[in-house]
């Protein structure tokens, strides 16, 4: 199923994102980011459903939370989304 | 045992603290080290603890809350982040060795804003006189660990803000008791132990970092982030938290903080001050006793020092210990405070209270002391 991964700089930052999305009523989960997506090594990602991307980004930016990168998962592959 | 050494560590803890630590041992691994349930449970607990502390001390973000092993650890990070070798610091006359020894190790030129005990206005005046725009950092304990003197940190913060000098507050004796607002004070750092007024276990501490404060690492190592990069991450809390977290400690600290917030820090402080006042008033009636307290305990928290003429302070504390009263005597790792107050030669016997002490315990202590001094 298509979904987005919002990469955070740390687990604490990912948790701040998760709380912000929870407050906005957007369902999400924290995951370890797939190794292939992170050039700098270990990272965490917040996973959201594709229909929630716009609302999620609005909620995150409202709380000054900036993703490192965003990826969309399509047919088992990840593609980076331009921010 | 009657335990009156809570300025060193609160020995009696809420039951929830030990329970939380036991639960952590059974259910938590390391935060930031995996995506499996035990790692995420640890991460959630650490985040909850940061969030409670950010809320309590008005930090804008939980990321500004850094876990340390003690207030001393936090103060070392703070001092070494701001004061370069040979730099200039202004400190109060009541600082602990946790402040003065790092400054000495840096070879800092340290000016002491010295003022008589319980003279808040004189403290402010002394800082006003000494702090200049080229001061690298001002460092001040909120409450003296020897005398319970509550220093005027709001006024000192104003002086620092006006002169654009970073302020480090040592909240070792005030955490969990007195209000501190990191954002409004504009403090660069506030360091505190987890194991005193926050009722966490020993081995826990917290460093609150101002949003734009530059931070230098004391330790480098794994953080669970940016693993390929060989420099430490430039963001908090990861920059200052190399290595595996003390999860049982953090879980216990979270339980302690929740206890404090449920019981209201101001109410706890009020109870401790009433015990201190009762002790001070009663001690004052005993011949040969000098009590370091104002009659109304102005500018004083729940800590009281005293000396007894003709009695060595350590010998007196040892005799009290043999009779079941745990109390600390000597210089309390704060020779500067004793020098400022004029008690360096003798040292003092110190009573320090927690939320678990009672008036009856103070009464029993006074009875034992009277017998010893007879």
Confidence at B230, pLDDT banded by 50, 70, 90: very high
Contact A23, A59 (CB under 8 A): yes
CA distance B345 to B89: 26
Number of residues that make up chain A:
83
Asked if A10 lies within 8 A of B225 by C-beta distance, the reply is yes
Given A30, A31, A42, which is nearest B225 (Cβ)?
A42
Helix (H) or strand (E) holding B311: none
The pLDDT score that the predictor gives to residue B349 is: 98
CA distance B192 to B173: 8
How high is the ipTM of this complex? 0.91
Other CB atoms within 10 A of residue B12 CB? 12
* Segment B175-212, tens digit of pLDDT: 999 999 999 999 999 999 999 999 999 999 999 999 99
Give the number of domains in chain A: 1
The C-alpha torsion from B127 through B132 and B133 to B135, rounded to 10°, is -80
> Which residues, other chains included, contact B304 with Cβ-Cβ below 8 Å and sequence gap of 6+?
B148, B276, B279, B280, B283, B291, B292, B293, B350, B351, B352
Nearest to B98 by CA among B191, B181, B17: B191
Q: Show residues of chain A in contact with B50, CB under 8 Å.
A: 12
With 90 as the cut, is the pLDDT of residue B21 above it? yes
Contact B249, B194 (CB under 8 A): yes
Mean pLDDT of chain B: 97
The pLDDT score that the predictor gives to residue A2 is: 87
Q: Does B60 touch chain A (CB under 8 A)?
A: no
In three-state secondary structure terms, B328 is strand
Which site among A12, A35, A64 would you substitute to test the B interface, given the most B Cβ atoms closer than 10 Å to its Cβ? A12
User: For residue A73, what is the domain's CATH number?
Assistant: 3.30.70.1530
Confidence at B91, pLDDT banded by 50, 70, 90: very high
Please compute the mean of the pLDDT values over residues B72-88 and round it to a whole number.
98
Q: Does A25 touch chain B (CB under 8 A)?
A: no
Please compute the mean of the pLDDT values over residues B232-256 and round it to a whole number.
98
* Segment A25-75, tens digit of pLDDT: 999 999 999 998 888 888 999 999 999 999 999 999 999 999 999 999 988
CA distance B229 to B247: 25
Domain residues for the domain of A11 are: 3-81
CA distance B164 to B99: 21
The pLDDT score that the predictor gives to residue B174 is: 98
Contact B250, B45 (CB under 8 A): yes
Sort B186 into a burial class: Cβ within 10 Å, 0-12 / 13-18 / 19+. Answer: middle
Given B61, B62, B225, which is nearest A9 (Cβ)?
B225
């Amino acid at each position: 199923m298509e979904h987005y991964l919002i990469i955070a700089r740390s687990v604490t930052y990912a948790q701040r994102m998760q709380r912000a999305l929870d407050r906005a009523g957007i369902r999400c989960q924290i995951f370890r980011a797939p190794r292939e997506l992170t050039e700098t090594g270990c990272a965490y990602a917040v996973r959201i459903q594709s229909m929630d991307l716009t609302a999620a980004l609005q909620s995150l930016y409202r709380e000054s939370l900036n993703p490192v990168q965003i990826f969309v998962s399509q047919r088992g592959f990840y593609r980076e989304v331009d921010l | 045992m009657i335990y009156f050494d809570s300025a060193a560590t609160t020995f009696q803890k809420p039951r929830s603290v030990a329970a939380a630590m036991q639960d952590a041992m059974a259910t938590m691994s390391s935060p930031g080290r995996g995506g499996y349930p035990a790692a995420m449970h640890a991460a959630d607990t650490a985040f909850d603890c940061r969030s409670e502390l950010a809320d309590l001390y008005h930090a804008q973000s939980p990321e500004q809350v850094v876990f340390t092993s003690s207030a001393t650890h936090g103060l070392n990070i703070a001092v070494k982040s701001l004061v370069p070798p040979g730099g200039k610091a202004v400190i109060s006359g009541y600082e602990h060795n946790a402040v003065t020894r790092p400054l000495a190790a840096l070879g800092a030129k340290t000016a002491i804003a010295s003022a008589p005990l319980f003279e808040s206005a004189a403290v402010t005046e002394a800082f006003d006189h000494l702090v200049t725009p080229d001061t690298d950092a001002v460092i001040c304990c909120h409450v003296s660990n020897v005398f319970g003197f509550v220093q005027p940190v709001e006024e000192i913060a104003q002086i620092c803000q006006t002169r654009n000098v970073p302020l480090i507050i040592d909240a070792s004796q005030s955490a969990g008791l007195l209000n501190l607002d990191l954002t409004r004070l504009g403090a660069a750092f506030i360091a505190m132990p987890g194991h005193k007024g926050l009722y966490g276990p020993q081995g826990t501490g917290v460093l609150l970092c101002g949003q734009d404060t530059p931070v230098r690492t004391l330790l480098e190592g794994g953080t669970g982030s940016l693993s390929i990069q060989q420099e430490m991450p430039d963001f908090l809390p990861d920059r200052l938290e190399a290595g595996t977290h003390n999860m049982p400690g953090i879980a216990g600290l979270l339980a302690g903080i929740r206890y404090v917030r449920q019981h209201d820090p101001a109410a706890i402080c009020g109870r401790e001050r009433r015990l201190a006042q009762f002790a001070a008033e009663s001690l004052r009636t005993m011949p040969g006793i000098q009590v370091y307290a104002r009659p109304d305990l102005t500018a004083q928290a729940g800590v009281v020092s005293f000396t007894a003429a003709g009695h060595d302070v350590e010998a007196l504390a040892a005799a009290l210990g043999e009779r079941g009263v745990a109390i600390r005597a000597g210089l309390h790792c704060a020779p500067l405070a004793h020098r400022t107050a004029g008690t360096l030669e003798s040292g003092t016997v110190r009573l320090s209270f927690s939320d678990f002490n009672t008036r009856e315990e103070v009464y029993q202590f006074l009875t034992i002391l009277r017998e010893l001094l007879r």
